[in-house]
């Protein structure tokens, strides 16, 4: 999630913009920049690294201009460096833009602009396409050029633009990613997030999807995509700074749970061509490479390890290559069998987990090909890998990982499908079917989120239990581990997960009247087995909360309560099954009054052994 701030008024814009950008730093950033409309054209200053680097680079320089836009970048496309930082300018310097989101058809537009207008691109971002496109369409009225440009773009994006010849105007367009306009005294603002403006304005307009906002110092106009002027209620914001950083959610964890529809879509769609075929840009695995691999290791810690467990199912099912999943702190010390025919996959949200990083180094030293699935661009794990598959989850602030997990699953499914098609172990039709299932995930996740009140009421019944078991079979057992970790790390309830078939080999001895068991039974082909396991624990008078696909009525006979997920193919249920478990953990911890975003004894990134 990048940050956008714009100002037009009668004060010098630069300090106001930078101050606003600093309020967005919590979202993560790896570069920042400003564009000012001055009497001698547009001046752009941008720098990789913290906002302090940008401030240092302009110290002592005259940064005049009463209209300007600024940006903090959370890199997703193109590594974090000065050239890829925003703002981006049109080739003639007429236009500058800042952008948040993805232009899905940027590659086509880039080629068109090169061929038809001779545009020379200087960055490897999708965002620069917006500046160049508006630049070639501009005929003196910025909003006209923006409209025309938007009609040619596809994706989820919000951007702001300024033009050298219209020194008091800022134009912004919203599609999917957030945008607000702030009303000042003889000045006006735009921002991706209320946090940036709280110091200057508490009267805002919420900009809806497919709307354009035109700001000058004395007025804000909002238009819909048919260029009809929209009347909009002023919203008075009473958030504290802390609240604003959470976008109005009580905790970062709840905000990040609710960001999953968007970030799952972003992580998926960026790797699908218009025809739905997979392109894994930045990953150079060829059919020849794959035919050489005799073993795949997936190595990670915590939630990332649990994503690896699902990845194992996917790769073995689609690509038919044996996969061993290992906890990084174990892998390092068991002298694993690794050679040049090994593919080592590291999964890490932070890209700084020491156990994972050291395991990667060990595998690399023994000749393995290293591919990592990472969220933080430019992190240590990413830098030391041969190929990097980025999850585009945006900054994950809460210690308990949620959106990183579901976007890691998306990457594992895409990788497994890609390998399967390269190796010919799945048909194009089957691949298209699974891609179709994955494309429905954002909406289906949203359906579960919309029904979270049911999960909240169940959590209120169970929040004071002192032990809770998660059971499942097949890929549900992998999700059971993640659901159990979510619960224990933020509620401190003693929770454990076990493959349901394993119960009879010892754990069932722990079942007592009213023991709580959360049974995941989403796999059609394993349902009967799961049903028997649930009956086993029910016979010991356990309290059973089952999670099944909608339409499953039989489960009610053996469950105290049931949570339904939207129907989908067995292969991809983990992306949905985990959502109610994340919400359950959150609401239980909230009922217990725990510090949800910063649980005791835990750190967001464990950079020690
Ligand atoms: C998950 O909720 C925990 N915060 C923790 O288990 C985490 O997944 C683990 O430390 C790995 O972190 P990484 O993904 O940044 O490597």
Atom of ligand 1 nearest to the CA of 400: 2
Give the SS3 label for residue 405: helix
Q: Is the shortest distance between the CB of 278 and ligand 1 below 6 Å? A: no
pLDDT band with cut points at 50, 70 and 90 for residue 1: low
Torsion, Cα of 224, 226, 227, 232 (10° steps): -30
Q: Is the shortest distance between the CB of 605 and ligand 1 below 6 Å? A: yes
DSSP string, 90-148: -TTSSEEEEEEEEETTHHHHHHHHHHHH-----SSSSTHHHHHHHHHH-SS-HHHHHHH
How many Å lie between the centroid of ligand 1 and the Cα of residue 355? 11
Best residue among 304, 345, 347 to mutate for probing ligand 1's pocket (most ligand atoms within 8 Å of CB) is 304
Which pLDDT score, from 0 to 100, does residue 195 have?
78
Q: Is the shortest distance between the CB of 348 and ligand 1 below 6 Å? A: yes
Please compute the mean of the pLDDT values over residues 413-421 and round it to a whole number.
95
How many Å lie between the centroid of ligand 1 and the Cα of residue 418? 26
Q: Is the shortest distance between the CB of 349 and ligand 1 below 6 Å? A: yes
Please compute the mean of the pLDDT values over residues 573-583 and round it to a whole number.
98
Which pLDDT score, from 0 to 100, does residue 243 have?
61
Q: What is the DSSP letter of 601?
A: T
How many Å lie between the centroid of ligand 1 and the Cα of residue 302? 5
Q: Is the shortest distance between the CB of 350 and ligand 1 below 6 Å? A: yes
Tens-place pLDDT, residues 12-25: 999 999 999 998 87
How many Å lie between the centroid of ligand 1 and the Cα of residue 399? 8
Residue 14 appears among annotated catalytic residues: no
How many Å lie between the centroid of ligand 1 and the Cα of residue 269? 25
Atom of ligand 1 nearest to the CA of 302: 6
Please compute the mean of the pLDDT values over residues 582-595 and round it to a whole number.
97
Which pLDDT score, from 0 to 100, does residue 3 have?
87
Q: Is the pLDDT of residue 605 over 80?
A: no
Q: Is the shortest distance between the CB of 38 and ligand 1 below 6 Å? A: no
Tens-place pLDDT, residues 214-232: 999 999 999 999 999 999 9
How many Å lie between the centroid of ligand 1 and the Cα of residue 605? 7
* 134/248 Cα distance (integer angstroms): 34
Tens-place pLDDT, residues 47-106: 998 899 999 999 999 999 999 999 998 776 677 889 999 999 999 999 999 998 889 899
Burial letters for 243-263: b for 16+ Cβ neighbours within 10 Å, e otherwise?
A: bbbbbeeebbbbbbbbbbbbb
Q: Give φ, ψ of 342 to 5 degrees.
A: -110, 135
Q: Is the pLDDT of residue 603 over 90?
A: no
Of the listed ranges 141-155, 404-418, 548-562, 594-608, the least confidently predicted one is 594-608
Q: Is the shortest distance between the CB of 599 and ligand 1 below 6 Å? A: no
How many Å lie between the centroid of ligand 1 and the Cα of residue 125? 29
Which pLDDT score, from 0 to 100, does residue 73 have?
86
Checking DSSP bridges between strand 88-89 and strand 67-73, what pairing results, if any? Answer: unpaired
Burial letters for 456-493: b for 16+ Cβ neighbours within 10 Å, e otherwise?
A: bebbeebbebeebbbbbbbbbbbbbbbbbbbbbbbbbb
Q: Is the shortest distance between the CB of 94 and ligand 1 below 6 Å? A: no
Tell me how long the chain is.
Answer: 609
Atom of ligand 1 nearest to the CA of 350: 15
Which pLDDT score, from 0 to 100, does residue 241 have?
62
Of the listed ranges 132-141, 275-284, 462-471, 568-577, the least confidently predicted one is 275-284
Contact (Cβ atoms closer than 8 angstroms) between residue 32 and residue 47 = yes
Please compute the mean of the pLDDT values over residues 462-468 and round it to a whole number.
95
* 486/577 Cα distance (integer angstroms): 13
Best residue among 311, 329, 376, 401 to mutate for probing ligand 1's pocket (most ligand atoms within 8 Å of CB) is 401
Indicate the average pLDDT of the chain.
Answer: 93
Q: Of residues 145 and 237, which shows the higher confidence score?
A: 145
Which pLDDT score, from 0 to 100, does residue 247 have?
78
Q: Is the shortest distance between the CB of 356 and ligand 1 below 6 Å? A: yes
Which pLDDT score, from 0 to 100, does residue 23 have?
86
Which pLDDT score, from 0 to 100, does residue 239 have?
63
Atom of ligand 1 nearest to the CA of 404: 14
DSSP string, 155-207: EEEEEEEEETT-TT-EEEEEESS--EEEE-SS-EEEESSGGGTTTT-SEEEEP
The residue whose CA has the least distance to atom 5 of ligand 1 is: 302
Residue 604 appears among annotated catalytic residues: yes
Please compute the mean of the pLDDT values over residues 467-471 and round it to a whole number.
97
How many Å lie between the centroid of ligand 1 and the Cα of residue 407? 14
Atom of ligand 1 nearest to the CA of 399: 4
Torsion, Cα of 413, 381, 3, 73 (10° steps): -110
Q: Is the shortest distance between the CB of 399 and ligand 1 below 6 Å? A: yes
The residue whose CA has the least distance to atom 16 of ligand 1 is: 348
Q: Is the pLDDT of residue 270 over 90?
A: no
Please compute the mean of the pLDDT values over residues 448-469 and round it to a whole number.
97
Q: Is the shortest distance between the CB of 606 and ligand 1 below 6 Å? A: yes
Burial letters for 302-339: b for 16+ Cβ neighbours within 10 Å, e otherwise?
A: bbbbbbbbbbbbbbebbbebebebbbbbebbeeebebe
* 309/472 Cα distance (integer angstroms): 13
Q: Is the shortest distance between the CB of 302 and ligand 1 below 6 Å? A: yes
Single out the catalytic residue among 141, 225, 598, 604. 604
Q: What is the pTM of this model?
A: 0.76
pLDDT band with cut points at 50, 70 and 90 for residue 602: confident
Tens-place pLDDT, residues 508-543: 999 999 899 999 999 999 999 999 999 999 999 999
Which H, E and C letters describe 294-348, residue by residue? CEEEEEECHHHHHHHHHHHHHHHHHCCCCEEEEEHHHHCCCCCCCCCCEEEEEEE
Residue 174 in tokens: 């919203």
Omega prior to 183 cis, within 30 of 0? no
Tens-place pLDDT, residues 375-392: 987 678 988 899 999 898
Tens-place pLDDT, residues 165-215: 999 999 999 997 778 999 999 999 999 877 788 889 889 998 888 999 999
DSSP string, 234-277: PEEP---HHHHHTTT-SSHHHHHHHTHHHHHHHHHHTTB-TTS-
């Amino acid at each position: 999630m990048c940050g956008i701030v714009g100002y037009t008024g009668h004060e010098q814009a630069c300090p106001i913009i930078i101050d606003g950008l600093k309020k967005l730093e919590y979202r993560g950033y790896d570069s920042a920049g400003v564009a000012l409309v001055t009497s001698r054209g547009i001046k752009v200053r941008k720098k990789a690294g913290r906002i302090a680097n940008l401030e240092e680079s302009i110290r002592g320089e005259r940064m005049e201009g009463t209209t300007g836009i600024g940006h903090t970048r959370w890199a997703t496309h193109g590594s974090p460096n000065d050239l890829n930082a925003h703002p981006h300018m049109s080739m003639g310097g007429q236009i500058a833009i800042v952008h948040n989101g993805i232009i899905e058809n940027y590659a086509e537009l880039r080629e068109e602009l090169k061929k038809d207008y001779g545009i020379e691109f200087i960055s490897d971002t999708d965002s620069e396409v917006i500046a160049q496109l508006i630049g070639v369409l501009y005929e003196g009225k910025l909003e006209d050029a923006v409209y025309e440009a938007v009609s040619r773009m596809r994706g989820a994006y919000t951007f702001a633009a300024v033009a050298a010849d219209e020194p008091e105007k800022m134009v912004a367009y919203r599609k999917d990613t957030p945008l607000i306009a702030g009303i000042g005294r003889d000045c006006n603002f735009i921002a991706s997030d209320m946090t940036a403006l709280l110091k200057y304005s508490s009267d805002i307009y919420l900009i809806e999807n497919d709307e354009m906002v035109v700001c000058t110092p004395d007025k804000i106009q909002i238009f819909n995509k048919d260029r009809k002027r929209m009347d909009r209620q002023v919203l008075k914001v009473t958030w504290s700074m802390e609240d604003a950083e959470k976008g109005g959610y009580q905790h970062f964890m709840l905000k990040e749970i609710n960001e999953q529809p968007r970030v799952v879509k972003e992580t998926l769609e960026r790797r699908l061509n218009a025809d739905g075929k997979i392109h894994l840009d930045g990953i150079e695995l060829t059919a020849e490479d794959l035919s050489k691999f005799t073993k795949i290791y997936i190595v990670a810690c915590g939630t990332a390890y649990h994503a690896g467990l699902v990845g194992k199912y996917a790769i073995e099912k689609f690509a038919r290559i044996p996969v061993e999943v290992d906890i990084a702190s174990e892998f390092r010390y068991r002298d694993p069998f690794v050679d040049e025919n090994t593919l080592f996959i590291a999964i890490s949200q932070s890209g700084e987990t020491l156990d994972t990083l050291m395991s990667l180094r060990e595998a690399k030293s023994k000749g393995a090909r290293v591919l990592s699935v990472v969220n933080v661009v430019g992190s240590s794990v990413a830098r030391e890998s041969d190929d990097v598959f980025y999850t585009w989850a945006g900054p994950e602030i809460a210690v308990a990982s949620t959106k990183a997990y579901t976007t890691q699953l998306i990457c594992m499914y895409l990788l497994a499908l890609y390998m399967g098609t390269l190796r010919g172990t799945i048909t194009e039709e089957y691949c298209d079917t699974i891609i179709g299932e994955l494309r429905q995930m954002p909406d289906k996740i949203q359906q579960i989120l919309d029904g979270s009140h049911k999960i909240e009421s169940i959590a209120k019944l169970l929040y004071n239990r002192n032990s809770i078991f998660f059971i499942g079979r097949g890929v549900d057992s992998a999700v059971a581990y993640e659901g159990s970790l979510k619960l224990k790390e933020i509620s401190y309830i003693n929770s454990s997960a076990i493959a349901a078939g394993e119960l009879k080999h010892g754990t069932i001895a722990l079942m007592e009247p009213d023991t709580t068991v959360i049974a995941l039974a989403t796999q059609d082909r394993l349902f009967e087995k799961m049903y028997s396991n649930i009956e086993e624990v029910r016979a010991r008078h356990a309290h059973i909360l089952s999670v099944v696909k909608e339409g499953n009525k039989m489960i009610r006979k053996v469950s105290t309560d049931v949570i339904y997920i939207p129907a989908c193919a067995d292969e991809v249920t983990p992306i949905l099954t985990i959502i109610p478990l994340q919400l359950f953990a959150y609401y239980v911890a909230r009922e217990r009054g725990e510090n949800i975003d910063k649980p005791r004894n835990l750190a967001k990134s464990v950079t020690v052994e």
